[in-house]
Amino acid sequence: ENNLTIQEAARILRYRYFDEVATQQKCSFVLTAHHLDDNIETVFLNLIRGTGIKGLCGIPMQNNRIVRPLLFATRKQIEQYAHENALNWREDSSNQSDKYTRNRIRHHLLPVLHEIQPDMYNVFYQNIQHISSSYRLLEELVKEKMLPLIRENENSLSISLDELKKMPQATLLLYHYIQAFGFNLTQTQQILEQNHQNGKTFTTNNYKAFIYQPYLTILKKDTPNNFKPYYVIEENTLELLEPMHLVFNTLTFNESIKIPNQPHVAFIDFARLSFPLSIRKWKKGDVFYPLGMNKRKKISDFLIDQKIPLYEKENIWVLENKGDIVWIIGYRLDNRYKITSDTKQIWCIEWKK
């Protein structure tokens, strides 16, 4: 179902179990007995499957609270220590089978390499250390190069593709930056192809990326939404902090008042409102009368006309009055609620971004 081998699925479940137990027992770290043989096998596995420099770094010494303190030692050294100190251990019977690629590397490839290079373990240990250090340096240099091209907010980041394409080795630069989100080289090459339609989407297990020229925007996939489905606004509400910061004020209309032409401010005819009002996410089928028009329009069509990127559409809220859309917050007021010569009081809303 998730395109995983049995071993990969078992590994995920095993670490998930370790994490649950560590949390229950209030442990700061989980120590595993991975050794140098495991690390060399992992490097070869990554090479066979296709890997970049990161795959040649092998198994990380630490990954969050998982720590692997024995990566310097070979399997034989650990077994010898156990025998000398009368320590018992358990071994998975599947380790003896050639059914799995890792086992075939262990049983057949590594012995041949050891014949060719008797000092194989030391050579590989030094190589892995060197490649890992070089990769960390590469990461720092990539971040430094990418920093001027990136805009970040709370839930996403956007990369200027136009500026990126002006840089030498743009494909490799982008690949080394976005592989941390799970994107591979093929996806990176596709992202930088010309003539993409806005809204083109690329996904990994945990992230999704949208192209909306000239930006590539990356955000967490299926990010849990902690917001309530709607928020109530009473007549005496002066401020709302969730799902966004809104400030409310009532003004007496006179001809000297200038109606601001700013999308984050709405001036509404107070007499048209029937409290309580509500704020909610827009949904398919919502319609309103855009300011300046006497015909109704689907909000979905309005957002397309405004060229709003897909990832932004998912976070657009509306102000609702007895089933009417009063304001697409930050975008457009409904024409039925505009200020007219008959207006006596103005209900002013400002979105404090």
Q: What is the pLDDT of residue 187?
A: 93
Parts of the chain with a pLDDT under 50? 224-227
How many of the other CB atoms lie within 10 Å of CB of 188? 21
CB 345 within 8 A of CB 268: no
Identity of residue 20: E
CA distance 156 to 314: 13
CB 216 within 8 A of CB 150: no
Q: What is the pLDDT of residue 195?
A: 64
Q: What is the pLDDT of residue 155?
A: 72
CB 121 within 8 A of CB 76: no
Closest CA to 329 of 319, 314, 321: 319
Class of domain 230-351: alpha beta
Q: What is the pLDDT of residue 194?
A: 65
> What CATH homologous superfamily does 32-139 map to?
HUPs (3.40.50.620)
The pTM for the full model equals: 0.61
Closest CA to 319 of 310, 332, 306: 332
- Residue 238 has phi, psi (to 5 degrees) of -100, -25
Q: What is the pLDDT of residues 148-169, one digit of tens each?
A: 999 886 677 889 898 999 999 9
Q: How far is CA 135 from CA 14, 57, 138, 225, in A?
A: 28, 8, 5, 35
Identity of residue 221: K
Would you list the domain boundaries of the chain?
Answer: 32-139, 153-220, 230-351
Q: What is the pLDDT of residue 137?
A: 96
Q: What is the pLDDT of residue 225?
A: 43
